[in-house]
Structures are given as C-alpha cells and as structure tokens.
Amino acid sequence: MSLTMSSANLIGLAVLENPRPDSGDLKPGKAPEPILACLRYFNSTDIPFEELGTFFVYATVAKMVKGANTRTTSTTLSDDDYHLVGDIVWLIAADVEDAKHLPYIQVSGTVKNIKTDDATFEIDAAQYTTPLKDKRGDSTFPLHVFIPSSPRYKTKPVPKPNSTVFVTGFLTGTDISQSGEANRFHIEMDNITFLGRSTLPLQTTSPVPVQTAEGGKKRKLKYSFDSPNPLSSKRAKQSPNVENVRVPLLPLSQS
C-alpha cells in the first residue's frame, strides 16, 4: 500500500509465459453478476466488430441518468436498462472463453461520509462523458470505498474529511434500486494516494439503505457469461459506437 504523494499505473496487453502456481491455498470468490453499460467508441481505424465479442477496454464512465444521449439502436434495450454510460478510450479484442473478471477502477476526488471504524468512505467523482455532455452536473461516478485488512500496513489509511485522494481497486458491487437504477458503486481498495485537502465545506447526508434489483428479468442480450463459447463467428461491420458492454460486478445483499 503506497502512502506517497504520487502514483503510477500501467494498462496494457501482456503475453503470459511460464506461469508458476503459488503454494498457498486457492480462495475462489463468488461468481460475478453483470451490469450493463452503454459505451461509445470513436472508431478512427475502422475496426470491424463481430456481432458478439469480448474486449479489453479502458473507459471513462459515469452513472446512468435519465436523458442521457445513448443513441442506442437496440430493439430490445431501453435507456432504463443501463447502469453506466461512458466513452471507450482504448480497446483491444480479447479472445477469451471466460469473461467473468472484475473490472479494475481508478478514481480521484474529494472524500465524504467517512466511517473510520468501518474503514469506508465515499467519493462522487465528476467525470465528463459524451452521453451526458448536456447534463454535466449529473455526470458523476458515485463510489463507496472499503479498505480491507492487509499485511501491507499496520493501520488502515482512512482519509481525513475533505481530503482529495486517488484510489484504485476492484469493483465488487453496486447499489441497485428496485427500479433497476444504479445508485452507488462499491470498490475494495487496493491502493490510495493522498493528493491534499479540499476547501469544500463538509457535507452531511442521511444514509441510504442498500437495495438490490429483483431477479427474474428477461434476458435482452445475446451474450451469456455462462456460455463456454458465446462468440459468434459471423463478422458484421458496425457503426463507430460500441454499445451494450456488460461489466461483471457482484450485487450487494440487502442491508
């Protein structure tokens, strides 16, 4: 765990050779549940997209709000089905059998709602996205951060009120209302960098109960994370906008 005033990150495609298993016992986690994101991609190199495909992407994202300019062409999806909107900055095709991997997120912003005993805090990160360019005040990525126990530090580095931090970690869950709207996303923190203190006044908000969406919704997409080989071999030229990107996240239980 780095507690310095700087941070460096690398996102890229690696070739793995000579893997060696660790001697420790494996501790598999719960199977992830997907959420739905409408992401735009400026296809400057005219990449041909298959009807279905898995991709490694780096994207800027925000919580879906009503009135977002999704420009969806789907006949089975509506704006109410999306939890996230955003822009794909970088995209690489990934021919993988198993797409059940939690996304790794990087967020910077001013902390609030700090609970030292629980080692949690929240960030409402303002993020420009093309679908919400006319609703910039609503283009945010609301995040709930949990600091897990780790041998890397003796005391959990809980930030002070109005601190500005840069945090990274795996997205592990999302608060979803009964209507299916995503309210706040949850991250298990992997690294934190302290960037200073904000001059913004303290905010006091009432806690909102965590709710999860009811199951049993009819599947609207062709892709299935449970399929061993879901990719279609038929290649079809699509528009520069890449839509209907499913991101696996774990839903939270009702509190």
Predicted confidence at residue 242, as pLDDT, reads 47
* 65 φ/ψ sector (left φ>0, alpha ψ -120 to 50, else beta): beta
What pLDDT digit, counting tens, does each position of 179-210 carry?
A: 888 889 999 998 888 887 756 555 555 555 54
Predicted confidence at residue 120, as pLDDT, reads 95
The yes-or-no verdict on residue 95 having pLDDT over 50 is yes
Predicted confidence at residue 6, as pLDDT, reads 46
pLDDT band at 112 (very low <50, low <70, confident <90, very high): very high
* Whole-number Å distance between alpha carbons of 62 and 107: 11
Query: To the nearest whole number, what is the mean pLDDT of the chain?
Result: 73
Q: What angle do CA 120, 125, 126 make, to 5 degrees?
A: 165
In the chain, the percentage of residues whose pLDDT exceeds 70 is 60
Query: Most distant CA pair in the chain: distance in Å?
Result: 55
Residue with tokens 């062409």: 73
What pLDDT digit, counting tens, does each position of 138-154 carry?
A: 888 899 999 999 887 78
The yes-or-no verdict on residue 159 having pLDDT over 90 is yes
* Whole-number Å distance between alpha carbons of 33 and 49: 25
Residue with tokens 């298990």: 188
Domain boundaries, the chain: 33-217+237-249
* Whole-number Å distance between alpha carbons of 40 and 178: 27
Distances (CA, A) of 67 to 39, 45, 139: 15, 30, 11
List beta partners, residue 144.
122, 186
239/195: higher pLDDT = 195
pLDDT band at 253 (very low <50, low <70, confident <90, very high): very low
| 3-state secondary structure (DSSP) of residue 118 | coil
The yes-or-no verdict on residue 248 having pLDDT over 70 is no
Q: Which tokens is 28 given?
A: 């598999």
Residue with tokens 């509190």: 255
Its pTM stands at 0.59
Predicted confidence at residue 146, as pLDDT, reads 95
As a whole number of Å, the CA-based R_g of the chain is 19
What pLDDT digit, counting tens, does each position of 47-70 carry?
A: 888 777 878 888 888 888 888 888
Predicted confidence at residue 239, as pLDDT, reads 43
Predicted confidence at residue 140, as pLDDT, reads 86
List beta partners, residue 120.
115, 146
* 244 φ/ψ sector (left φ>0, alpha ψ -120 to 50, else beta): left
The yes-or-no verdict on residue 217 having pLDDT over 50 is yes
The yes-or-no verdict on residue 106 having pLDDT over 60 is yes
Q: Which tokens is 16 given?
A: 């793995």
234/25: higher pLDDT = 25
In the chain, the percentage of residues whose pLDDT exceeds 90 is 14
Reference 141, options 185, 195, 83, 81; nearest CA is 185
pLDDT band at 89 (very low <50, low <70, confident <90, very high): confident
DSSP string spanning 183-198? EEEEEEEEEEEEEEE-
Region 127-147: mean pLDDT is 86
* Whole-number Å distance between alpha carbons of 244 and 233: 19
Distances (CA, A) of 119 to 159, 160, 249, 254: 9, 11, 21, 20
pLDDT band at 119 (very low <50, low <70, confident <90, very high): very high
